[in-house]
Copies of this chain bind each other. A is one copy, B any other.
Amino acid sequence: MKEQLDFIYKEQKELSTFGGIAALLGWDQMTYMPALGAAERSEQSALISRLAHEKVVSDKLWKAVKTLSDQDNFNKLSKRDKAVVARLEKDLEKARKVPSDFVERMSKTTTLAYTSWQEARQKEKFSVFASDLQKIVKLEKEYCGYINLPGPKYNSLLDGYEEGMTVDKLKNEFYLLKPQLIKLLEKIKSCKVYEKQTSFENKISIEKQRTLCDFIIEKMNLPKDRSRLDVSIHPFTTSMGYDDIRITTNFKHENPLFSFFSTVHEGGHALYELGMPQDEFKNTVISDSPSLGIHESQSRFWENMIARSRDFWDFFYPVFEKTSPAQFKDIDVETWYRYVNQVKPSLIRVEADELTYCLHVILRFEIEIALMEDEITVTELPDIWNEKTNEMLGITPKNDTEGVLQDMHWSGGSFGYFPTYVIGTIYASQLFKKLTEKNPNIYEEIKHGNFKNIHRWLLENIHKYGCLMTADELIKKTCGEGLNSKVFVGYLKDKYSKLYDI
C-alpha cells in the first residue's frame, strides 16, 4: 500500500500546484492583464484546467484510491490516511460521473454565454442572452442526470457547492426566513426613522479609501508576507498557495463604504484560506473548505457581525474621521453607524443592505428551482424576475440589466451557487452567537479594535478542520445545531429594532 499512498499524495500535491497556477492566471486577468491578453489567457487557463482534470479522472489514481479504500486495507491506514482516502474517494467518484466531453461542452458554451451576457447587459436586452442561457439550462439538467442524487434535480446542483444540502432542507429554512424578512422590512419602511433617513454622500479620495482598507486588513491580522490587496472590478479572494492569498476591492464608488466592506468581506475569506490545515494535511484534499456556505460564513461574519456592529465603530469611526475630517465634520459615531446599516430596498444584489440581501438570494433560489423543474421557461425570466422583485422588495427594475441580467453566475453555469450566500450568512450569525456566549468579553475587544481572540476562535473552531467534516457536521460541532435561520432572524430583529426604534 506504500506505493499507492505515495502516489495519491504525489498527485494531490501536483493538483494543488496546478490549482495555484490556475489561481494566478485568474487573478492576473482580473487585476493587471492588458485587455488584449484575454484570448491567450483563456488558452493558458484552459490548458491548466485540462491537465488538472486529466489527473482527477485518471484511472491510475482511481485504482490507487480504490485499493486503499478496500475495507481490509483501509482498516490498516493511519487516521490521517483514512481521512484523506475517504475524502478523495468521494471527490473522485463525483468527478468521474461527469464525462470529459460534457466538461468541454459546458466550458465552450459558458465562454460564449459570457460574451452574450455582456452584450445583453450593454444593450439592456435579455433576449440577446436568452438562447445561450437556454443551452446552459439544458446542460445543467444533463449534469443533474450524471450526478443523479435522490429528490429534485436541483439537489444535484446544490450538492456541488454545499455537500449534503437538499431542496427540502433549504425550503424549510428559506420559507421561514422569507416572510420574516419581508415583515421586518415592511415594519422598517413604515417607521419614522426610515422616513427621515438620508444617505452619506461625501466623497473620499481613493488614496484615503486605500489607507482605510490597508488599516482594517492589518487589524484583521492578514500577514503582509502571505497576502496582498489589489484592485479589480468585482472584489474576490483567491489562493495561489498556503502562503500567498490575495484579495481585491475596488474604489469606483466615491463612497468609502463599498471598498471598506468589500475589503473586510474578502479579508474574512482570506483569513480562512490562511488558516487551512497545513502540517499533516498540507497539499491534500482535506486542506479545503467543506462548502461554499462555510467559506461565505467567514466573510459574512467579519463583514456583518463584526464590521457592521455598533461596537466596531467605537474604534473605527475615529479612524475614518481622522483620515478625512472635513467629510465627517457634521456627523457622529451614532449617525455613522446608522448610515452603515441603512436598510433600503434596491435592485442590485451586491449593493444591498444586510436585511434585503437575503431576499435577493431567495428570489434567485426560487427561479433556479422552477427552471430545473420546467415550471417556467427561460424566455419568461425577465417578467418573473420583475414580478418577484416587486413582490419581495416593492420596487421594479427599469430594464433587464438592473434586473435579470445583473449577475454573471448563470452565464458561467453556476446554478445552485446563490443559496450558499444565505447559508453562509445564517452560519455567520450562529457562529457569532456561539462565540459571544462563550466569550462575553469579545464585545469589549471589538470596541478596542482588538480581533485577536476572534481570529483565534475561528481558527480553532472552523479553519483548522479543513474539510475533515461536512459543513453540517462542522456547524453542529461548533454551534450545537445545524443550519438555523431562526438565529439569524433573532439577530436581525434585535439589530434593526434598535436602529429603527421599532
Task: Kindly state the separation between the CA atoms of A53 and B17 in the bound complex, as whole angstroms.
Answer: 17
- For chain A, residues 217 to 267, give those with C-beta under 8 angstroms from any C-beta of chain B: 223-228, 230, 240-244
| A36 on the B face (CB < 8 A) | yes
User: A440: CB under 8 A from chain B?
Assistant: no
A326 CB–B CB distance under 8 Å:
no
In the assembled complex, the Cα of A226 lies from the Cα of B32 at a distance in Å of 11
**What 8 pairs between A and B have smallest CB-CB spacing?**
A37-B244, A40-B241, A36-B243, A35-B225, A36-B225, A36-B226, A17-B47, A21-B44
Interface residues of A (CB under 8 A from B): 14, 17-18, 20-21, 24-25, 28, 32-37, 39-41, 43-44, 47-48, 51, 223-228, 230, 240-244
B32–A228 CB distance below 8 A: yes
Q: Tell whether, in the assembled complex, residue A17 and residue B43 are in contact, meaning their CB atoms are under 8 Å apart.
A: yes
Q: Which residues of B contact A33 (CB under 8 A)?
A: 240, 244
Residues of B within 8 A of A240 (CB): 33, 37, 40-41, 44
Contact yes or no, B34 A28, CB < 8 A: no
Query: Which of B37, B243, B244 is the one whose CB lies under 8 Å from A243?
Result: B37
Which residues on the B side are within 8 Å of A228 (C-beta)? 32, 34
**What are 20 A-to-B residue pairs whose CB atoms are below 8 Å?**
A17-B44, A21-B21, A21-B48, A24-B24, A24-B28, A24-B44, A32-B32, A32-B228, A33-B244, A34-B225, A34-B227, A34-B243, A34-B244, A36-B223, A36-B225, A36-B244, A37-B240, A37-B241, A44-B240, A44-B241
Q: Which residues of B contact A36 (CB under 8 A)?
A: 223, 225-226, 243-244
How distant is A225 from chain B, measured CB to nearest CB, in Å?
4
> For A243, what are the chain B residues with a Cβ–Cβ distance below 8 Å?
34, 36-37, 39-40
The residue of chain B having its C-beta at the shortest distance from the C-beta of A43 within the complex is B17
CA distance A173 to B492 in the complex (A): 81
- How far, in angstroms, from A485 to B44 measured CA to CA in the complex? 42
Please name all residues of chain B whose beta carbon is closer than 8 Å to the beta carbon of A17 when the two chains form the complex: 40, 43-44, 47
Q: Closest CB-CB distance, A24 to chain B, in whole Å? A: 6
Given contacts A24-B24, A32-B230, contact A18 B37 (CB under 8 A): no
Residue of B nearest to A32 (CB): B228
Residue contact A47 to B225, C-beta cutoff 8 Å: no
Please, how many angstroms separate the alpha-carbon atoms of A47 and B13 in the complex?
11
**Apart from the given pairs A18-B47, A36-B225, 18 other A-B contacts in the complex at a CB distance below 8 Å:** A17-B43, A20-B40, A21-B25, A21-B44, A24-B24, A24-B25, A24-B28, A32-B32, A33-B240, A33-B244, A34-B228, A35-B225, A36-B223, A36-B243, A40-B240, A40-B242, A41-B241, A41-B244
Looking at the assembled complex, report how far the CB atom of A334 sits from the nearest CB atom of chain B, in whole angstroms: 38
Q: A41 to chain B: which residues have CB within 8 Å? A: 240-241, 244
Q: Which residues of B contact A48 (CB under 8 A)?
A: 21
- Shortest beta-carbon distance, A392 to chain B, in Å? 42
Q: Which residue of B lies closest to A28 (CB)?
A: B24
Residues of chain B within 8 A of A24, CB atoms compared: 24-25, 28, 44
Instruction: For residue A46, give the distance in angstroms from its CB to the closest CB of chain B.
Output: 9
A33 and B223 CA atoms in complex are apart in Å by: 13
- Which residue of the partner chain, among B34, B43, B223, contacts A224 with CB atoms under 8 Å? B34
B47 near A21 with CB under 8 A, answer yes
- Nearest-neighbour CB distance to chain B for A38, whole angstroms, equals 8
A80 to chain B, nearest CB (A): 21
A20: chain B residues within 8 A (beta carbon): 40, 44
Q: Which residues of B contact A34 (CB under 8 A)?
A: 223-228, 243-244
